[in-house]
Amino acid sequence: MAFRSLVFAALAGVAALGGAAPVQTGLDVLIEDHLDDLRGKRVAIACNHTALTADGTHIVDALHGAGVEVAALFVPEHGYRGDEHTSGQTSTDDVTGAPIYSLYDETRAPTDEELEGIDVMLFDIQDIGCRFYTYISTMGVVIEACASNEVSVFILDRPNPITGLHPEGAVASGDMLRGFTSFYPIPTRHALTVGELAQMAVGEGWLQLPGGGVDLTVIECRGWTRMMDGDSLDRAWVRTSPNMPGTATAITYPGLGLLEGINLSEGRGTDIPFILAGATWVSSEEWARALRECDLPGVAFTPITYRPGDNGRFPSRAIEYLEQPANGVVVTVLDRTVFRPVRTGLAMLWTATELYPESVAFTNGLNSLSGDPAMRETMEAVKAGTPPEGGWRAIADRWDAEAEAYWERAQAYLIYE
C-alpha cells in the first residue's frame, strides 16, 4: 500500500474575510504546489459543485485552464454543478469534452470501462462530518474501484464544518455496513476530514482492496485546526446539497437526520431544514416542554407552527398533504462547544414516540441511520409502552462508549491538531 500524506507548513499572508481564519483546502494546495504531478497524465475527477478554489473557480475549470488533461468526471448525488437533485445518465462536459458519469445510479461506483486509460483520480467533495451523509460512501467506492484498476487516488482534503472534535453516536456494524448511509464502522458524527477518513478506511481494512492496498495520497488543508467549524473559515458556505444551506444546519444534522427514520417532518421545504421538526399530530408546547425536561446541553427548544412545503423535489415525509400546517419545535444551538446533536436527536425521537405512540411510525432505514442494529426494535418497544431500562439516556451513554473506542483507534490517522 502506497499510503502518503503530504505535510505542509501553515500558510502565511492569506487575507481573511471578516476576521475568519485563512484556510487553504487540498484543492488550493494542489494548484499551488502539485500541478506538475498531474501534467502528462490522464486525470479523472470525482467532484461536485463544492469543489471550488479560494477564488470560487471550479476544479474542472482550474485544472483545464492549467493544462491538465481532464479525461473523465464522476459525480455523486445532486449532480455536477449542484443544479440537479440526482443524476443518472452519462453526459459530456462542455468545457473539457470529458464524459460525465453518475455515481448515483445502480452501481454507484466507477466501472472498469469508465476507468480504462485513467492514471489518477482526484476526489474533491465537501463532507459535513456525518456518517449518513452519502458523499463519504461515494469516496469509499471510488477508492475501491481505483485500486482494482491500478489508478492512483488523490484525496483533496477539506475542513470538517462541524469541527474535528466530539465524535458521537453508535458505531455502525454488522449487516448494515456498506450501505450508503452506513458504509463504514464509524459513529454518526465521525469528527474526521475526508482525508483522515480515507486513511483510516484503508489502514483499518474497511475497504475491499485487491491485495489490501491502494496508491493513496491525501493533499492536506493548510491553516485548519480541529476546533474550527464552517463559520470560522475565510470563505462563504457552498450549499453542499439542496437541504444543507449553512453551517448551522450541518451542526444539527447528525441529530435531526435521525428523524428521517420516523414520520416526522425534519424541516425539508423550509428555510431551516434539520433545525426544526414537527407533524400535524404534534402539540408544539407539549413536545417543547418534554424536550426541555431532558436537560440537553447547549440547546433550546421553541414551539412553532409551520408549513413544511416541498422545495421542488423532496416532499416532507411527515405531512401527507403538502402545505398542511405542522406543529413542532425549533432547535436553537446556544453553545456549539457543548451541544451534542446525536444525543439531542435521540431525545427528540424518543419523546415524540412516548408522547404520540398512536401516530408515530418508523421507516426501514432507522437502524442504518442510527447505526444501532436494534434501534427500530427499541423504538417499537417505546411505542408499545415498554421502553428499555434507563430510557434514551442509557442508549446515548452506550453510543458514547462506542464512539470513544472508535476515537482511540482514529488517533493514528489524524492529520490536524
**Does residue 413 lie within any of the structural domains?**
no
Domain residues for the domain of 34 are 3-238
Q: Which residues contact 353 (CB under 8 A, 6 or more apart)?
A: 262, 360, 379, 382, 383
Residue 415 covered by a domain: no
Q: 397-412 pLDDT, tens per residue?
A: 999 999 999 999 999 9
CATH of the domain at 289: 3.90.1150.140
Amino acid at 220: E
Query: Last residue of a domain, which of 238, 264, 287?
Result: 238
pLDDT at 80: 79
Region of 68 please: left (phi>0), alpha (psi -120 to 50) or beta: beta
176 part of a folded domain: yes
Same domain, 395 and 375: yes
* 233 lies in the same domain as 251: no
Question: SS3 of 4, please?
Answer: strand
Question: Same domain for 213 and 273?
Answer: no
3-state SS record for 311-329? CCCCECCCCCCCCCCEEEE
Q: In this structure, are 220 and 354 located in the same domain?
A: no
Together in a domain, 24 and 128:
yes
* Helices H / strands E in the chain, number of each: 11, 11
Q: Same domain for 229 and 254?
A: no
- Of 189, 103, 208, 178, the C-alpha closest to 368 is 178
**Both 272 and 191 in a single domain?**
no
In the chain, what are the helix, strand and coil shares in percent, each to the nearest 5? 30, 20, 50
| 107-120 pLDDT, tens digit each | 789 999 999 999 99
Confidence of residue 3 (pLDDT cuts 50, 70, 90): very low
Our count of domains for the chain comes to 2
Q: Residues 219, 267: one domain?
A: no
| Mean per-residue pLDDT of the chain | 90
d(CA 131, CA 135): 9
Among candidates 31, 23, 106, which has minimal Cα distance to 67?
31
Residue 412 included in any domain? no
Could you tell me whether strands 326-333 and 299-306 are parallel, antiparallel, or unpaired per DSSP bridges?
antiparallel
Looking at the fold, whether 209 and 265 belong to one and the same domain comes out as no
Give CA–CA dist 341/197, Å, rounded.
20
Q: Buried b / exposed e across 210-224, counting CB within 10 Å, b at 16+?
A: eeeebbbbbbbbbbb
417: in domain: no
Q: Is residue 400 part of a domain?
A: yes
Confidence label for 77 from pLDDT (cuts 50, 70 and 90):
confident
Residue 69 shares a structural domain with residue 174: yes
